[in-house]
């Protein structure tokens, strides 16, 4: 009976999410309704619901999660100040009339933006409004230009710092601790955010390299038609555009990876540094307006993130109350091939969920349920976190609900069809899966750097 209830609950949850109900209400409300309906029949222990307040308090007192609003604020200020657009304009000026060089320049700037803003929406909108018209004028195919903008704009979810990695580190650490407790080990070390940041450096560079190779293969060296971009920027202008963001990246990420500052401390310093850079920059909006708009962006995004985190606590509580964790563990352990097969099933499920759900919802639902089982089977938590991050990267580009597709569609020219966009992102989804496969084959791509920094 519990299995039937769980199946009905999950189907009702997906139906609510797909119907347009806010994610927080669907993820928290549907399980709560099922729990309340099961209590009179003795199928759910009401005492479990008392633990929800404790879980919420734990989320609010979780120090590492405080880095999320600070990193979001840093990115929002940099975006509002116009520094991102000036970086793109400077490096695009060096590309001349070559579609290939211009596309590589856009990819390079996107990689730098990923390490400063980490906010997918802002990056894609900026690229679609600033970089896309220039690529089209230089003769870049509409399909190729659309796919590049949408895909490179999502790099901020894999390249640290990012909201995804902070949430993943927290959930992976909790799941690893749960697996250790089940095994009788109460002194397990958590998966630190700094460790996951370091683990994603190699895979992030790998993915950027794969994108670059695809651009070199797919785009011609010189323009075939259209208006050529022949501007040339002096070295001084290029240095002025890139010097301050590069210093900020080096200070924030360098202090985290070197152990000088915690992620929260580094995020606070990064937000302050971004504010200073914005105040010193020219041709920017008024500082008060920029702070207000950046602050509102931060409040909105942070509110969405934490509301889903809190709602997912209710889902996990009810899921365990119905015995779902035991069912999942039994099913994964029964697979032939043990840890490898179980990991493959989980990653395949995440990829499929990416067509329907956002990355926050997937992290908060899948990791608490499947993580303890995988870690009990011997899967390295840090390696699994990187594989999951690469897998979740595809969810931004897979229709119909890929966030990157919505952001791009909102900012792109009206005459650029959605079908063109979908065809353009297909190669990049394939490259993301290739990067995932390579990290699967060579775990050292993810685990080598964190071990060197111990």
Kindly tell me if the per-residue pLDDT of 228 is higher than 50.
Answer: no
**pLDDT at site 22:** 80
Distance CA(87)–CA(111), nearest Å, equals 12
Q: Averaged over 130-154, what is the pLDDT?
A: 83
Q: What is the extent of the structural domain holding 27?
A: 2-39+47-452
The pLDDT-based confidence of 437 (bands split at 50, 70, 90) is very high
**pLDDT at site 89:** 67
Q: Averaged over 6-11, what is the pLDDT?
A: 84
**pLDDT at site 225:** 42
Compute φ and ψ for 160, nearest 5 degrees.
-70, 150
**pLDDT at site 119:** 65
**pLDDT at site 210:** 95
Kindly tell me if the per-residue pLDDT of 151 is higher than 80.
Answer: yes
Instruction: Dump pLDDT digits (tens) for 94-117.
Output: 555 577 878 888 888 888 877 776
Kindly tell me if the per-residue pLDDT of 62 is higher than 80.
Answer: no
Specify the range with the lowest mean pLDDT, choosing from 60-64, 69-73, 114-118: 114-118
Residue 280 CB burial class (10 angstroms; 0-12, 13-18, ≥19): exposed
Distance CA(313)–CA(368), nearest Å, equals 9
**Tally of structural domains, the chain:** 1
CB 196 within 8 A of CB 402: no
Distance CA(302)–CA(310), nearest Å, equals 12
The pLDDT-based confidence of 366 (bands split at 50, 70, 90) is confident
The pLDDT-based confidence of 230 (bands split at 50, 70, 90) is very low
> Residue ranges of the alpha helices (H) in 94-162?
99-114, 120-126, 132-137, 142-152
CB 331 within 8 A of CB 105: no
Instruction: Dump pLDDT digits (tens) for 24-59.
Output: 888 888 888 988 888 888 888 888 888 888 878 777
Q: Which residue in 361, 357, 358, 350 sits closest to 384, CA to CA?
A: 350
Specify the range with the lowest mean pLDDT, choosing from 174-183, 368-377, 443-452: 174-183
The percentage of residues in the chain with a pLDDT greater than 70, rounded to a whole number, is 87
Distance CA(157)–CA(402), nearest Å, equals 13
Residue keyed to tokens 């900026």: 126
Find the distance separating the first CA and the last CA of the chain, reported in whole Å. Answer: 48
Kindly tell me if the per-residue pLDDT of 345 is higher than 50.
Answer: yes
Instruction: Dump pLDDT digits (tens) for 168-189.
Output: 888 898 888 888 887 776 566 6
Q: Taking the model in full, what pTM does it have?
A: 0.83
Q: Averaged over 268-275, what is the pLDDT?
A: 84
Instruction: Dump pLDDT digits (tens) for 281-298.
Output: 766 667 777 788 888 888
Instruction: Dump pLDDT digits (tens) for 208-218.
Output: 999 999 998 88
- Tokens at 37, concatenated: 């309906």
């Amino acid at each position: 009976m519990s299995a039937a209830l769980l199946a009905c609950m999950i189907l009702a949850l997906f139906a609510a999410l797909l119907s347009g109900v806010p994610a927080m209400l669907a993820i928290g409300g549907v399980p709560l309704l099922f729990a309340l309906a099961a209590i009179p029949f003795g199928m759910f222990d009401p005492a479990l619901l008392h633990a929800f307040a404790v879980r919420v308090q734990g989320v609010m007192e979780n120090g590492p999660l405080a880095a999320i609003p600070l990193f979001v604020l840093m990115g929002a200020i940099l975006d509002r100040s116009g520094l991102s657009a000036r970086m793109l304009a400077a490096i695009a000026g060096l590309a001349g009339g070559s579609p290939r060089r211009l596309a590589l320049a856009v990819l390079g700037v996107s990689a730098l933006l990923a390490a400063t803003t980490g906010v997918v929406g802002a990056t894609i909108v900026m690229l679609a409004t600033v970089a896309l018209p220039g690529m089209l004028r230089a003769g870049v195919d509409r399909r190729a230009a659309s796919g590049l903008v949408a895909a490179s704009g999502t790099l901020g979810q894999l390249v640290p710092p990012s909201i995804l990695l902070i949430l993943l580190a927290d959930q992976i650490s909790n799941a690893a601790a749960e697996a250790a407790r089940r095994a009788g080990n109460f002194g397990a070390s958590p998966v630190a955010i700094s460790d996951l940041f370091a683990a994603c450096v190699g895979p992030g560079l790998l993915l950027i390299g794969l994108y670059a190779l695809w651009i070199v293969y797919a785009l011609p060296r010189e323009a075939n038609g259209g208006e050529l971009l022949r501007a040339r920027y002096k070295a001084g202008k290029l240095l002025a555009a890139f010097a301050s963001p590069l210093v900020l990246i080096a200070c924030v990420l360098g202090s985290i990876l070197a152990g000088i500052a915690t992620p929260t401390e580094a995020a606070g310093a990064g937000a302050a540094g971004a504010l200073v850079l914005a105040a010193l920059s020219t041709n920017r909006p008024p500082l008060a307006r920029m702070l207000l708009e950046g602050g509102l962006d931060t409040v909105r995004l942070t509110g969405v993130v934490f509301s889903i985190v809190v709602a997912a606590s209710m889902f996990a509580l009810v899921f365990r109350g119905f015995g779902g964790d035991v069912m999942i563990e039994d099913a994964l352990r029964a697979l032939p091939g043990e840890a490898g097969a179980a990991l493959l099933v989980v990653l395949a499920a995440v990829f499929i969920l990416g067509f329907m759900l956002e990355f926050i919802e997937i992290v908060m639902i899948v990791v608490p349920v499947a993580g303890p089982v995988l870690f009990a089977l011997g899967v390295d938590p840090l390696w699994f976190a990187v594989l999951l991050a690469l897998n979740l990267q595809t969810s931004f580009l897979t229709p119909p609900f890929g966030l990157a597709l919505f952001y791009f569609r909102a900012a792109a020219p009206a005459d650029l069809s959605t079908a063109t966009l979908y065809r353009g992102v297909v190669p990049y989804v394939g490259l993301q899966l290739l990067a995932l496969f390579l990290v699967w084959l060579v775990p050292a791509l993810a685990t080598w750097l964190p071990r060197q920094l111990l």
